[in-house]
Structure 1
């Protein structure tokens, strides 16, 4: 059977392009991939997740939610807060340290989960310098040394005298090893030569102090309502300056231990590999948020000192603390 004929339209041959045109075409083809790579991918195109490695309802959680609200307005996408407490914050921070560096997973961490401290039994399961990208230090949070009403001490001097008279008879609570509440108790014990029992781990030790199950606790400003209700007694603050919310309280340094300081700080980090352009935008938005009235007033209301540092300053802080 004869093969069918297929009509093929006649196309007049075109002239061969000149060398100049051909060279230009080659340059364009070679340059196109580079141009495409140079163009930053649109970000953000979907919700950003902010991991807060503390329990819902805690002061760091409130700090994270306030920051998330401001970032969401500036970025134009939802910023979803995810609480992942445990192990002094290292569980949540570890999750972000392993996350893709695409700008969609961030962490608001306390200092204990970033710098660690072998003196206080803290060994981090990740490298905070290699695995995380600093964005901005958000705030510093001084602590208040509180005791229960069953403790017969109305000043730090009286508390120290009581502890010296009862070796291992007094205890101090903390929210975890290496946290500012732990450092406060350890540093006070070393400075005053005290022997006390450390009771770690509770996400909220205040009920234990109120109930007399633990003698003392370096708490954040969340303890002040209980102090004003007469359920706790505040003796001193752990920062180098007095606390604006309770200016009547002396510092530990003023109470006989010069140079004493045990404060927490909180900062925003991204996973390693996050593009510098995204980090720069996050830094600018975080600093703008902290400078804004809404976030600043929220931080001050919880006894925190707003910071809003640049990324380089935060990187220097982490490097210095790790030495």
Structure 2
């Protein structure tokens, strides 16, 4: 959108591309600078850590973490190379060309995320159990869906996107934190598919989410994390205190009864439901990554001792109540179900209040 008083092609229209180009140049330069540093750290971790790990039959944490970090950077570089090749193959222009560019970007994202998942399986003993079983790639025939997921643990958002792309056959239109633009490959590839970074540049987050939801078609899934951040007991206490300060005493009391989730910030979800009234709503609960939420817990909890368990259920659009007040109450009830499932399946390492 052009700023008030700006002419087409003027400074306001140029600001966005200039900022984007500068950001991507800086993050790509940082990626290239980090590669040899992390490679050296991986070699040093192997040489220095091997004797101790062999003698103590330890978990080889320094080697595992350094190798995964190196692979992540290499995958990022591969994503940039693939994005450059796609740009040369299909330059910008035309609606049909834009749809094909998005399909190409989704395919690259699926491959890169699959590589990272396989690495997680080998290095960190990542195992994922999903109930009920996912449909066999029939997302294209199933119509659009709104996916509202619990947010807990390092990498859970990437794991959800990979599962939707590879196993559910859905194209995720994702709401992401703006800080993730620091990842150059993610910045470039997500920029080629429908997405929304928050906080939005105009400060109108609900409108940005609504616009994204309004563009959903068959086989598309809007992915939203209503909690707004990874669950930790401290964030839960702060969120409940915030509800009280804002005069939402009843909502705070209900949030106190949920020990494994943050009270959902439902403004974005309500905007998505209003903008896509024919879309079914899918809720996703999971546990297994809860304990891995900081540098300290990454070091102490990897490799994983238990499988990551995920559970989902689908609510038809016709069963979603009408009106924001009723929908807000319904979302809170559904989130209480997420909490109950998590409580019943959380292992001893799970983070809870």
- Larger helix proportion of the pair: 2
- Note whether the superposition's TM-score is higher than 0.5: no
* Structure with greater Cα Rg: 1
Larger relative contact order, structure 1 or 2 (CA cutoff 8 Å, min sep 6):
1
- Give the TM-score normalised by structure 2: 0.24
- Larger strand proportion of the pair: 1
- Give the TM-score normalised by structure 1: 0.25
